[in-house]
Amino acid sequence: MSQHSKAATSLLTAEHLRWRTDGTLILDDITFAITQGSFTGILGPNGAGKSSLLRCLYRFVKPEQGVITFEQDDIWQLNANDYAKNVAVVLQETPSHFNLTVHDVVALGLIPHKGIFSRASSTDNEKIEQAIEQVGLTHKTKQNFENLSGGEKQRVLIARAIVQSPRLLIMDEPTSHLDVRYQIQVMELAKSLDITVIASFHDLNLASAMCDNLLVLDQGKLVCQGTPQEVLTKEMLSDVFGVCAHISEHHQHKVPHISYYYGYLTSEHEHGEIHD
């Protein structure tokens, strides 16, 4: 694909992003483009800058250098409310001690679309109920958000994002702290929305199964990007993550599947040597 046609189908691009805090360089010269309709995973060890990169994308922090565009517009030139109409974000932070029902939390997705004195119309309420149904929580609509399990909370937040009716969904480690079953459920839910998704991942196999496109960060630098087949190589795993692994093909959907080697001090495998 030529550079030109790539730019034409890109929903979001980042060019030469650089961001530092307290003198430490957190993001260093990051450039990429997200194709419309794609599912992009951001990988990297702890402290690689995954969350910081996402924060730049959802305008929580402003990079000191570089430009992020959404449909060819610089996101910092856009009105905050207009950006929120197009981009929804699911984060892992959850509030506590406040009595908001599931319905109330999902209704927050209306904020960018509503004037200050307007009431929620019946269409809005339908939209909210539909979103709650889509994440399979209709029976808990009136329950307190705080009393839900981690997986349910995450699904409520996704329902909120659905109500926001965005064109891009950003998720920061949506599956951490979740049981395997909910990890898969939450990710499949995100995929089923048929919109562009950017999510950071801890589980590389889950990322491999879900994503069309992967970005790998290491110490603030974008070290590689491409399809799971291109990115998930044993060289990358040992360079970036410092683990030795065998890559095979997942027997169901043919994406790369990683098996880690354990106890390689005594291992006789060819990849078992330790590089200091």
Partner 1 sequence: MIKSKQTNNNRISWLGIKHINQTVITITALLTCLVSFFCALSFGAADISFIDVWHSVGPAKAENDIGYIQRIIWDLRMPRAILALLAGSGLAVSGLILQTVTRNPLADPYLFGISSGASLGVVILIAFTGGIFTVLTPIAAFIGSLVAMMMLMLIAGRRQSQQVESMLLAGVALSFLFSSLTSLLLYHTDPQAVTAVLFWTMGSFSRAQWENLLFPTIVITACITFMLAYRRQLNAMLLGDESATTLGIKVNRFRLVMLLLSSLITATLVSMCGGIGFVGLMIPHIVRFFVSQGTVFGILLTALVGGIFMVWVDILSRTVLVNQELPVGVITAATGSLFFLTLLYFRKNRPS
Positive or negative torsion for Cα 103, 108, 109, 111 = positive
Q: Which residue has the tokens 């879900």?
A: 210
Looking at the Cβ atoms of 9 and 77, the one nearer to partner 1 is 77
Give the one residue of 36, 38, 67, 114 binding partner 1; rule: CB under 8 A.
Answer: 114
Is position 75 an interface residue for partner 1 (rule: CB under 8 A)?
Answer: no
| Count of residues in contact with partner 1, rule CB under 8 A | 40
Is position 55 an interface residue for partner 1 (rule: CB under 8 A)?
Answer: yes
Is position 144 an interface residue for partner 1 (rule: CB under 8 A)?
Answer: yes
Contacts 24+ apart (CB under 8 A), 271-274: 271/234, 271/238, 271/244, 271/245, 271/246, 272/244
Looking at the Cβ atoms of 109 and 220, the one nearer to partner 1 is 109
Q: Which residue has the tokens 């905050």?
A: 80
Give the one residue of 101, 134, 176, 205 binding partner 1; rule: CB under 8 A.
Answer: 101
Is position 59 an interface residue for partner 1 (rule: CB under 8 A)?
Answer: yes
Give the one residue of 12, 48, 89, 232 binding partner 1; rule: CB under 8 A.
Answer: 89
Give the one residue of 74, 82, 230, 249 binding partner 1; rule: CB under 8 A.
Answer: 82
In degrees to the nearest 10, what's the CA dihedral of 245, 250, 255, 261? -10
Give the one residue of 41, 44, 63, 112 binding partner 1; rule: CB under 8 A.
Answer: 112
Is position 167 an interface residue for partner 1 (rule: CB under 8 A)?
Answer: no
**Residue 180 and residue 135 in contact, taking contact as beta carbons nearer than 8 Å:** no
Is position 24 an interface residue for partner 1 (rule: CB under 8 A)?
Answer: no
Burial class for 265, CB neighbours closer than 10 Å (0-12, 13-18, 19+): exposed
Q: Which residues pair with 65 in a beta bridge?
A: 18
